[in-house]
Chains A and B, each alone.
Chain A
């Protein structure tokens, strides 16, 4: 029997007076992957940022494993067992790979060495890059560092903002393999993806956002084969 590990209810947020997300309700269960897709400007990133505490919600609730976290700062949210990987500026460019990963374990420094060894096992390429400054790495390598950082403290929930952005097709495949592997170890994942096909392929459920609201919601395969969704959002229509 799986339980809800992340839930939002009626979540509304935006910047200043501009409301970007309206009344978003979703529930993520243990071990589940939900992929959020939708056109640009639909509010997908903002939703993720709001859940992560980077943007203050205007109204609504966000609960992680039953604990209310809406309105907490990003640093406080980081202690709730949820880790957020932003789309851009997601590594400390001046710090080495090794140091970046250490920052991932800021909340519990005693676990740093063990956690880092685990991340190197999962991303063997990073081990050879560990003394390199993150700013000197390629896009794909930086994504791995960003991912690795988030995994250091073994979060229950991962928030991923466009993990495949800017990656070559080969790297995209690799990235989604990693997402699948991480999920197989029991981490629930809420993922925003522009690459809707690949994203829905590895997800259990999908959520389509448009103009700040949830337009469709359902099992991932259904959304993949749904004509309306594919015409409008997956780009099968010329």
Chain B
């Protein structure tokens, strides 16, 4: 049982990093990123391929994954800053899907649907196999904390507050000039950095990655975490990510009690319930469980 809890908590950790990074992008720059799965995949495959095919040490591979995510973030931000949010969502969804298609298709390199087996693990040789899951959970928790601290700092910094205040208002943004634009690109890129990190951590944890994991549904789950938790509020995000994961995992247990349903039906039912949860949350509490505290104008 405890092995299961450790494993689930680790997955919650990945979700939390993704959700925090997404909220950084959405909450500060106002840019909607539905291509989360693509950034996640980019991180996973960059780190995995570098470690497996080029023998690069795990630590460096993970760093490379972060940088890859960051570069992708910068490119996407540069190209699509002026789009209306819902259409930007479609474009970023496209970016994510194209990444997945490339991974699926170029299977000589990526092993595609067969799955890429990754043996290398951070500190894998130093920590024994019984302790390793706990160690990894600690590593992931550390990364969650790191991500949280960075995201909160950006959010509270003067530039963060300014950007949040004007994120919807292009006229003000234009008056303030190029400085603002570059800051938005940088912050979006930082979000990409952490998404790449989450991907790399995921890859070295499950040790076998294939494209089916990186479907658009994943973006929905992460967005759910952001929305249910309360967009803009980082603590709420953590709560949201936890809630969504608990819900996802919890519904697995129903299968143990209800024998009539096979795996496919269970899976379908879980997604239906999540979808309903999302719609109900947005109907009844559109600002989430822990909404963003009202913006107060005072001198700090």
Consider the complex of A and B and state whether they touch directly, i.e. have CB atoms less than 8 Å apart: no
Which A residues fall within an 8 A CB radius of B? none
